[in-house]
Structure 1
Amino acid sequence: MSDQDTQQEEAIQPVSPGAVLAQARNSQGLSIPEVAEHLKITESYVRAIEESTFDVLPQAAFVRGYIRNYARLVGLSGEDLVKDFDHFIGNDGLDTPRLQGSKKVKPLRAHSTPSPAHALALLLVVSLGGLSYYLWNNWLDAEPAAEVAIIEEVSEQLPEYLEAVENTPLETDLEVEATVVEERASSDPSVVVEQESEQVEERPEFPPIAVDSAEIVDVTADDDVKKTVLGLGKPLVIDFSQDCWVEIKDATGEVLVSAVQKAGSSISLDVFPPVSVRFGNTPGVQNIVYDGKPVARPNSSTRVASVLLTGNGQG
């Protein structure tokens, strides 16, 4: 082979960007650990770049970034070295031989198109998400409806019970009065006639009197219950750092709050223990203070959690 052919073969040899970077590093007195620390990569990556063993590195896009940062560190042109890298691995369409003493460089594969298995997995995830959303909404809608039905049933039965209790003493009084009338009748006939006439006149007035008494007792009982609830109420304050759905229900069975609270908002109200609090986004809960005492924030992997607050604090 002539000297001219040898010079032509050397001219078409691809330039190794790793060798150029290694030479520049040595000229500046930098070590491989120092370069790795500056580039925020491992020492094995730095050696792979300098030795042009690109098959042990990540995809080409990452390697180009490493080369640019390395070139900037040693004062070289990153774009020129990236072009040398593309030419070296054969991405420019030329059939270039590998450097002597280096490993065979395999062209880095680009992202493959999604396979049917990936599409099936994506469809399964979407289906599970839709099913979870459907069950969550139906469960939330069904439970408040059941609570309303129970409250209405108790409200309907309470007046009947109070009326029965109030009517019992009145019937006893009537029986006692009838007994007295019978005893007087046996001793004094004139008294019997007088008592019978009075009973005939007074009997039509009994039903309205009984109804009025029951109504008065109902109002008094309601006032006593309200005073008791207000006396035992405890302050509850909740702050939110993110949008979060919350539902608060105390011992009265009434749903006090059931809505999405915006980030930066807070809830402050008096509740009657025990209190059930449910959250739809636990990371969005910033602070919980119950009866002047902080309560530990809920922590759940599903982002949905419930907290029970009793009279002594968190249950």
Structure 2
Amino acid sequence: MSNEQLLGQETEEYGQVFPAAEFVTAREQQGLSVDDVARELKLSGKYIESLERGAFDELPSMVFARGYVQSYSKLLNLDVSRYLALFDNLYGSTSAGNAPQFRTTSGAQSTAKLGDPVIKWSAWIFVLAIVAATVWWWKIQQGADPAISLSPATESVEVESVDGSTLIVPSGLAHGNDNQTAPQPEINLVASDGTELTADAANSEVPEADSAETSSDASIDSSVETQAEAEVQQEEAPQPVIGTDVSLRITFTDECWVSVEDHTGKVLEMRVKPGGSELNVSGEAPLKLLLGRVEAVGNVFLNGSAVEFNRGSRSGVVRLTLPQSE
């Protein structure tokens, strides 16, 4: 009787089932555990249990299953060729020579490597572009219009003389410092008919205007004194105490980006507020307030008192320090 006939007879005796139970019997007779076998074959215990149950479909593939059967039977000193022949008779020959051949397509022959300098530099350029765009957006959100300092317009005082002519006197003459002697600017006098006169000519031609000029100078001096007293009172006004708790309430008529920080730089609020909402926040003074869209702001209240500020920013961005200095 040939080997193939013997294998066919054994297969019929086992009822078309691989005799995996013999692995269990042989292992127990040799005093080995599943973990011992797994350690020797460098496989997981789950694979050993699948082999002993004949559950080859739980293994990665039949090619691997055939190799595991060969290694396991060799470890247990069993007849390796017999178990391989039974496996091939039941599941077909899956030897290396009969393993399916895989054909690669021409498009997949060249694969880009992560270490390629082109890929590496492209990735760095992309990351830097993202960082630059983020910084630019943050500066746009945080930035405000530069402070525009305008010199105050020169004020003038019109004095009507006795003969009906009008004298235009710069008010800067009346605000001179008593302790310093500043050079006096040339005074141009304009008559009612539009004729420009020099100071000497005006003094010689309109001597009657002395009384009117004297009264005008007196009124200017009184206004200067009143303004000086107001400035002294403002200087003596108490400044806000740093670190005191204040409450801030802002109403919004439309969507607006807002940021609030206390005097230590701690961010108390930073978000986009929708129209019709309110922002209520408390912190240690002074508070730094940034409004990204001033036309969307209704009212600003500090400790219940309304805060007045310039709403004429061309970009719509307004920065405030609250309480405002007097």
Q: Normalization by structure 1: what TM-score?
A: 0.32
User: Which structure is higher in helix share?
Assistant: 1
Larger radius of gyration: 2
Q: Normalization by structure 2: what TM-score?
A: 0.31
